Structure 1
Amino acid sequence: MPHVIVKMYSGRPRQQKAMLAEAITKAVTGTLGYGEESVSVAIEDVEPKDWAEAVYRPDILDRPDEIYKPPGYDPFK
């Protein structure tokens, strides 16, 4: 039962978030073979000023073994 959490800068409209959730659902079902009913997607808005400490450090820097596509930026440099 995949549950995908997307954290992104706040400010995107609900319609765009729904489209993203649909695209992610299609990618998960097509790649893993799960039915659409097995997939859930959450989107968490994060203020840009909070990104480095609320997301980058705990979810990216501190969990390198779980990152399959690393970002191409470093907010601490």
Structure 2
Amino acid sequence: MPHIVVKLWPGKSEQQKQELAEALSRDVIRILGSKERSVSVGIEEIAPDDWHDEVYNPDISAKQALLYKKPGYSM
């Protein structure tokens, strides 16, 4: 605990994905007090043509109450 899943369009390098996973892990450890061994990060590449059906509808639109950062809004 916790497990983070990042869904993004293809095209990011392996280095970028690794840096993102490390940054997310560091912040989870710092903010939540998690142990490094308990944090996992998965990255799923979703084709732009599939984004609406595979990500937007099920993960964003259908789960508005669970979003702490909504698309298009500043933090």
How does the TM-score come out when normalised to structure 2?
0.92
Does residue 54 (structure 1) correspond to residue 60 (structure 2)? The answer is no
List gaps (5 residues or longer) in structure 2.
Answer: none
Q: For 1:72 and 1:51, how far apart are their aligned partners in 2?
A: 16
Q: For 2:56 and 2:27, how far apart are their aligned partners in 1?
A: 24
Does residue 9 (structure 1) correspond to residue 9 (structure 2)? The answer is yes
Q: For 2:8 and 2:23, how far apart are their aligned partners in 1?
A: 16
Match of 2:72 in 1: 72
1:8-27 alignment to 2 at 5 Å? 8-27=8-27
Does residue 41 (structure 1) correspond to residue 41 (structure 2)? The answer is yes
Query: Secondary structure of 2:17's partner?
Result: helix
4+ long deviations beyond 3 Å: none
Number of equivalent positions: 73
- Using the aligned pairs only, state the percent identity: 49
Query: Secondary structure of 2:69's partner?
Result: coil
